[in-house]
Structures are given as structure tokens and as C-alpha cells.
Amino acid sequence: MKNSTSWINTNLKFLQKIFFIFLCVIIFINKFTLSFFDPNPPLSEIAIYFMYFLYVGSIVCAVIFFYFRTLFIQLTLIAVFLVIVDVITSLFIERIGHKEFRIKQPEPYINAEYFSKDFIDESFAQPGGWLLDKTYGGVKPNNFEGNWINVRNNQRVTVNDSGDYLRKIYLFGGSTVYNGEVPDNFTIASQLASLGANNFSYKVVNMGATSIHSAQQFGRLKAEINVNDGDVIIFYDGVNDVLQRIIYDNHEGYMIGEPKKESFWIKQLRSKSKYSSILFIFYSKIIENIKETPSTLIKTSVDNYVNTLVVVNEYVKSQGASFYHFLQPTLFTKKNLNKYEESLIEKGYPFVPTQFIQDFKRAYPLISNKLDSVEFSYSLVGVFNNLKKSPYLDFCHVAHIGNKIIAENIWNNINNELKF
């Protein structure tokens, strides 16, 4: 006890300095001050961790400075050197993400009446997060109100004509059904409504959600939709079943924060690469390495995917409704790529990762062959073949022109069997 008191008396000034530094850090960096920089309060987990990191870091740095002043100076110089190198490196590399690319108005957005920087900003701000539903192991969008994009009741808003509807068409899929790349009136669901669904007394409902695959779509169907006689259930998918089941080897599908199965260090490198040019270079080089996906994994995944669709069809029919499946196109299924589309492939990550090219080209023909014998499924892989102007913003997401073509093909395949 006497030794402890003696040590405190000896180091009192030092402890007072640490307390003063820590107090200053808390005053300037806390939940209140950080809220000014967080666009979606309450504070994100990253902001909270950053705050705690600074608290601990301020004490550690003060202790190192007091006891190991030379080491502290050396570490400080190393940190300053790395920051300078990172800043200089950023001047010589092109680090363009999806948002920066779309702000430049690429080919699919040319002559789009809705295009503006404000629209792109909103498209990347919405829906302000995704909700995990443990009932079916998938996600759905937060409610969101914007100028171009809206989400109500955790469903992307579909522009239906006003009126009383006897039945509904539910459109399920991933982000290519949710359609965050376009305003409400240009989604596949809204264009399907305007093409004739509303005239047949069908209200179209958009059930798209980011990155989920067929099994999660089926889970949401059973958990949230009371299917009535005469309703129509449509699955428009394929991409996420290849991504999740084969490329990420994640058979259960997308989960918040864990969309991929990857090592801890690769995950950290991926998440931090957007803040550092050096880390971005490391990550870009690492993901250029292609792994050979086992043929057994591809075959099993394709079988599971098709079997899921068969089960969905049986379930929907048992409810007195109709089920249709549409295999979605990708940049890899389009014939005669134009120069813009070839440049997308050359850009690589994050637009067309190298691994995707190999696995999609191996898996999609198998999927198409399996689905050819399934009466409720229709392939749309070639619907963009005759387009001279590309609809693609990356390897699978398209703008309004692409959505219109998809909606037309869906409508042409279902309208003869709809009930009046």
C-alpha cells in the first residue's frame, strides 16, 4: 500500500497530464460530437469502435511517451511516413468505386431523364440499412423516403395505377429486383405494372432485397406473404445463387455483415482498402488470384438451386397461385459486347471481379440446361444480345432500359395465363 502511494506521489504530475489528455479526448470526441458526422443516427458500429479506439489510444500513447519517449518519436515518424506514402500513392492510382463511376454518367445513364448527382447520392444512401429477419435467414430493406427511391413496409415502392386490385403479382429476387440503380417508376416491378399487369387487375409488389438467393426468397415468401388464389409469384434470379452458393461457398445465403466466407485478415483488408491506397493495391492484387472452384461444388450448388425452385413451385401451386421463374442475364451471357462493356471487364474489381468470370461461365450453362426441362422456368440470358447501347452498370446490375426489356419479357411469358 505504501509502495503504491509512493508511486502515485512520484508520478502525480504525469497522471494529471494523462487525465487532462483523456478528458480533452472525451470532450472533443464523444457520441454527441460524432453524431454531426454520422448521416444515419444512431451512431454506426464503426463510429462507436473509432471512439473507443481513440480513448484507449490516447492513454497508451501518453504512457509510451512518458516511459519510452524515443520509441514514441520513432513510431510517430513511421506513422507520418506511411501517411505521406499513402497520400502520394493515391495520386498515381485510379481508385473508382461504384458511386464514383456512376456519377460520371456511364453509357446506361446517357439520356436518362432522372440522372443527376443528387440521384446518385440518394441511390447510395438508401435504404439506410438492411434488417436481418431470423425467421427465414435473409434481409429486407429499411423503410426510406426519398425524392426518387422509396421503401414502405420494407418493400421497394412499386408505381401501380390507382384502383382496386383483385390479385397480386409478387416479384422476388436480389438487388437486381430491388433496383436501387433507378427511381421507383423505372424498376422492373413498376414497368411490369404499367405494361399490363394493372390492366388485368393485378397489383405488382416488389420483394427484392440485396444479395439474397432463392432459398432466402422462398423463406421470405412463406414468412411474409399470405398467398391467395389467383396470385402470381415470380422469382427473377440466378446471379446470387452462383455468388453465394459457389463463389462465396455460403450455402445459407447472405447475412448482414457476413456476405462472404473469407479469412479474418482478408475481411479486414477488404473493409479498410477504401480508406488507404496502399491497402487498396494489396487487396486488388490478392483478389486477382483465381482459385479453381471444385466441379463437385458447382454441380451440388446448381442441383440445390434448381431443387429449391421445384419446391417453391409445389408450395405456390398448393396455395392456388401460379409460379414463374426467370433466369436473369449477366454481362457474361451477352453476345457481341460493345467497347463500353469490354472496358467494364477490363476494370476488374469491383465491377467485374476476375473470379466471377470463371465461375459464372462454368455454372450458368449447367443452370440453363437443368432449367430447360422445368416447365415453370424461362431463360432471359440472351435478352440483351441485340442491344447496341449497353444496359450494364457492372456484371449484372442494369439501368432503366434493361429493366424495361426484362419487364417486357416477363409480361410476354405470363399474360396469357393470368386470370381476369
Q: Give tens-digit pLDDT for 292-334.
A: 899 999 999 999 999 999 999 999 999 999 999 999 999 999 9
What pLDDT does 4 receive?
Answer: 60
CATH number of 99-417: 3.40.50.1110
- 262 burial class (0-12, 13-18, 19+ CB within 10 angstroms)? middle
Please choose, from the candidates 219, 209, 121, 228, the residue with its C-alpha nearest in 3D space to the C-alpha of residue 171. Answer: 209
The grid coordinates of residue 213 equal 438467393
Residue tagged 458447382 (cell numbers)? 298
Q: Would you place residue 2 in the very low, low, confident or very high pLDDT band (cuts 50, 70, 90)?
A: low
**C-alpha–C-alpha distance, residues 249 and 82, integer Å:** 36
Closest to 259 in 3D by CA, of 370, 371, 350, 361: 350
Residue 39's pLDDT is: 52
Ranges of each domain in the chain: 13-90, 99-417
pLDDT at 1: 57
Is pLDDT at 408 greater than 80 in this prediction? yes
**Summary mean pLDDT of the chain:** 87
User: Which cell is 270 given?
Assistant: 477488404
Which residues lie closer than 8 Å to 124 by C-beta, 6 or more apart?
Answer: 98, 99
For residue 263, what pLDDT is reported? Answer: 67
Between CA 26 and CA 280 the distance in angstroms is 32
Residue 137 burial (10 A CB sphere; 0-12, 13-18, 19+) = middle
How many Å apart are CA 30 and CA 214, to the nearest integer? 43
Higher pLDDT, 31 or 246: 246
pLDDT digits (tens, 9 = 90+) for 147-162: 999 999 999 999 999 8
CA dihedral 285→45→393→377, nearest 10 degrees, is 100
